[in-house]
Amino acid sequence: MTEYYNYIKALHLIFVITWFAGLFYIPRLFVYQVEAFQKPSPEKEILGKQLKLMAKRLWFIITWPSAILAVIFAVWLLFLFPSWLQAGWMYVKLFFVLLLIGYHVKTHQIFKQLQRDEVKYSSGFMRIWNEGATILLFAIVFLVILKNSINWIFGVLGILVLGILLMLGIKLYKRIRDKNPDA
């Protein structure tokens, strides 16, 4: 079975990439849905209907299947190489993967709310929520690439700095957008 390792790994990576593509785009659609909800009729209904359809297709045709297949291929890899579970970095990576799954589940809750026209979050919150997947991606990729050579203190500090820079970027963009609404 180990002769199929590279195929299984390639499929795992492909589905991780498509999973993240969905996780990067769906909160952007949420931002647009929240903002469309505040528009006057008939624009509100027209945009809302189209954005719901786009979100539904993205979520159920790309994001959910990719998440499931990425996890299946990851478990298959761990089954082929159980010794990986003896490495400390793997447990940290699996912790971040569990956070990613939690992020995905919470995003699904938000998706269901917006499909029912329940707006519980602002577009600003959704812009910040959009960065959650980015932070998790950085953490997971650095763990996989650097493994034991990473200094955990600097790694955690690096993720925190990345988060702070992302938040500052969002605030800067908001200022620019407030001055020029067409940006």
State both tokens at 53. Answer: 């359809």
CA–CA separation, 30 and 115 (whole Å): 10
CB atoms within 10 A of CB 54: 15
- Residue 67 phi/psi, 5-degree rounding, is -60, -45
Question: Is the N-terminal amide bond of 65 cis, ω within 30° of 0?
Answer: no
Lookup result for tokens 């997947």: 133
Tell me: is residue 108 an annotated ligand-binding position: no
State both tokens at 61. Answer: 């045709």
Q: Which of 124, 123, 121 is nearest to 113 (CA)?
A: 121
Q: Which of 30, 105, 16 is nearest to 62 (CA)?
A: 16
Q: Which of 92, 84, 88 is nearest to 5 (CA)?
A: 84
Tell me: is residue 12 an annotated ligand-binding position: yes
Lookup result for tokens 């971040």: 96
Annotated binding-site positions: 12, 93
Binding-site residue ranges for heme = 12, 93
